[in-house]
């Protein structure tokens, strides 16, 4: 489930958050993936571009680009009829457009490889890959669709699963 910060606050999330995050109920902090861009807008990217996490890890996408709005959108037929590049049992996500400073959180529970992109900036290779778990985990799925609707440039911007697993994080 994705809850952009502004929607969370509008739903009275501040009061609920005070109750949920009492000192005795500390949850692990979310891992942050930043949406970045140069001041003139000639280059945009996710950092890290590759990330390895355990199943159930919360991920927070935050727009740190003062000049653009961005999305973090899973490659999936439910999102603009794209080829699926996430595990078949996984829920697709789309953060919607996040303005500078805004964020959205997701939790990926199914082991496997998740590729995602920024809707308005995919052709500039603003893409990322998250590896959840490891290939030996039950239910693990990689992402190698027989036919894909991504360009060679976009595909080459995605780090390999092997590099992500070896390094844990690729900026």
Note the pTM of the prediction, 2 decimals: 0.83
pLDDT digits (tens, 9 = 90+) for 95-151: 999 999 999 999 999 999 999 999 999 999 999 999 999 999 998 988 666 567 899
In the numeric block, which tokens belong to residue 75?
């490659």
Q: What is the pLDDT at residue 149?
A: 85
The domain locations on the chain are 5-170
- Whether the CB-CB separation of 92 and 74 falls below 8 Å is answered with yes
HEC per residue, 33-62: EEEEECCCCCCEEEECCEEEECCCEEEEEE
| Other beta carbons less than 10 A from residue 43's beta carbon | 11
Range 145-159 average pLDDT? 85
5-170 classified as CATH 2.60.40.420: yes
For residue 53, is pLDDT > 50?
yes
Say which residue the tokens 């001041």 belong to.
39
């Amino acid at each position: 489930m994705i809850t952009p910060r502004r929607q969370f606050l509008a739903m009275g999330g501040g009061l609920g958050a005070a109750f949920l995050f009492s000192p005795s109920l500390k949850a692990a902090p979310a891992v942050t993936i930043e949406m970045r861009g140069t001041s003139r807008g000639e280059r945009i990217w996710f950092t890290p571009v590759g990330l390895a996490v355990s199943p159930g890890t919360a991920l927070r996408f935050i727009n740190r680009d003062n000049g653009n709005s961005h999305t973090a959108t899973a490659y999936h037929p439910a999102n603009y009829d794209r080829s699926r590049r996430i595990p078949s049992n996984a829920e697709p996500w789309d953060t919607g457009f996040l303005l500078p400073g805004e964020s959205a959180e997701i939790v990926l529970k199914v082991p496997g490889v998740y590729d995602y992109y920024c809707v308005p900036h995919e052709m500039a290779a603003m893409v990322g890959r998250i590896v959840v778990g490891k290939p030996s985990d039950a239910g693990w799925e990689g992402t190698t669709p027989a036919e894909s609707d991504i360009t060679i440039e976009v595909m080459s911007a995605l780090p390999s699963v092997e590099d992500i697993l070896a390094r844990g994080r690729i900026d």
